[in-house]
Structure 1
Amino acid sequence: MERILAIALNPAIDVSCDAEHVRPTLKTRTQNQKHYAGGGGANVARVIAELGGRVELVYLSGGITGPLYDGLLAQYDIGRHRIGMAGSNRIALMVHELDTNFEYRFVPEGPSVDPKEIEPVHDFIENYDGDYIVASGSLPLGAPVDTYSRMADAAKRKGIRFVLDSSGDALRHTMDHGGVFLLKPSMSELEKLVGQRLDERHACAAASELVKKGAAENIAVSMGKSGAILVNADGVVRMRSVHVREASAVGAGDSFVGAMVWWLEQGNSMHEAFRFGIAAGSAAVMTPGTVLCRRDDVFALYENGVTTAHG
Structure 2
Amino acid sequence: MQETIASLTLNPTIDTSYVVERMAHTHKMRAQAEHYDPGGGGINVARVLVRLGGSARCHYLSGGATGIALDGLLDQHQLVRVPTRIAGDTRIAVAALELETGKEYRIIPPGPTVQESEWRACLERLGEINCRYLVASGSLPPGVPNDFYVRAARIADARGARFVLDSSGRGLNAALAAGGVHLVKPSLGELSHFIGHDLPDDTAIAAAARGIVAQGLAEIVAVTMGHHGALVASAEQVLRLPAIPIQAASAVGAGDSFLGAMIFALSQGDTVEEAAKLGLAAGAAAVLAPGTGLAHPADIRRLRAMI
C-alpha RMSD of matched pairs (Å): 1.3
Which consecutive residues of structure 1, in runs of 5 or more, have no partner in the other structure? Answer: 307-311
In 1, Cα distance between equivalents of 2:107 and 2:293? 17
CA distance 1:2–1:238, change in 2 (3 Å): farther
Per-residue CA distance 1:229-262 (angstroms, 9 max, x = gap):
0011113110122112322121010000111101
- The 3-state SS of whatever aligns with 1:65 is helix
Write the deviation string for residues 35-74 of structure 1: whole angstroms up to 9, x where unpaired: 1110111101111111121110011111121111111111
User: Which of 269, 274, 284 lines up with 2:271 in the alignment?
Assistant: 269
- Residue 71 of structure 2: aligned partner: 70
Name the amino acid aligned to 1:115. E
Q: CA deviation at 1:301?
A: 1.7
Q: How far, CA to CA, are the matches of 1:25 and 1:198 in structure 2?
A: 42
Structure-to-structure mapping, 1:231-242, within 5 angstroms: 231-242=233-244
CA deviation string 1:140-196 (max 9, x = no partner): 100011110111112122321100000001110111100000000111111111222
Q: Is this contact kept in 2: 1:2–1:265, CA < 8 A?
A: no
Residue 309 of structure 1 corresponds to: none
- With normalisation by structure 2, the TM-score equals 0.96
Structure-1 separation of matches of 2:79 and 2:17: 22
Normalised to the residue count of structure 1, the TM-score between the two structures is 0.95
Distance 2:160 2:48 in 1: 24
Q: Taking every aligned residue pair, what percent have the same amino acid on both sides? A: 45
Find out whether 1:222 has 2:201 as its counterpart: no
> 2 CA distance for matches of 1:71 and 1:77?
10
Counterpart-to-counterpart distance in 1, 2:168 and 2:103: 25
1:89 corresponds in structure 2 to: 90
Contact 1:287–1:293 (CA<8 Å) still a contact in 2? no
User: Which runs of structure 2 are paired with 1:42-57 in the superposition (5 Å)?
Assistant: 42-57=43-58
Name the aligned partner's letter for residue 33 of structure 1: E
Comparing 252-261 and 125-134, the one that deviates more:
125-134
Distance 2:217 2:24 in 1: 45
1:279 matched to 2:281 = yes
Cα distance, 1:305 vs. partner? Answer: 1.1
- Asked whether the equivalents of residues 87 and 111 of structure 1 are also in contact (C-alpha less than 8 Å), the reply is yes
Q: More displaced, 161-170 or 210-219?
A: 210-219
User: Counterpart of 2:265 in 1: which secondary structure?
Assistant: helix
Alignment partner of 2:59: what SS? strand
Aligned mates of 1:76, 1:19 — CA distance in 2: 26
In the TM superposition, 1:1-311 aligns within 5 A as 3-199=4-200, 200-302=202-304, 304-306=305-307
Report if aligned partners of 1:59, 1:83 keep a CA contact under 8 Å in 2: yes
Report SS of the residue matched to 1:182: strand
Choose 95-104 or 200-209, whichever is displaced more: 200-209
Mean CA deviation greater in 29-38 or 274-283: 29-38
Write the distance in 2 (CA, Å) between the matches of 1:60 and 1:125.
12
Q: Deviations over 1:202-236 (max 9, x none)?
A: 11111111111111110000011111000111131
Contact 2:4/2:55 (8 A) holds in 1: yes
Per-residue CA deviation, residues 72-121 of structure 1 (Å, 9 max, x unaligned), is 11112221111110000001000111111111110000000002112222
Is the Cα contact below 8 Å between 1:8 and 1:41 reproduced in 2? yes
The residue type equivalent to 2:51 in the other structure is E
Does the 8 A contact of 1:252 with 1:281 survive in 2?
yes
1:2 to partner: Cα distance? 5.2
2 CA distance for matches of 1:295 and 1:188? 28
Q: 1: CA distance between counterparts of 2:254 and 2:204?
A: 23
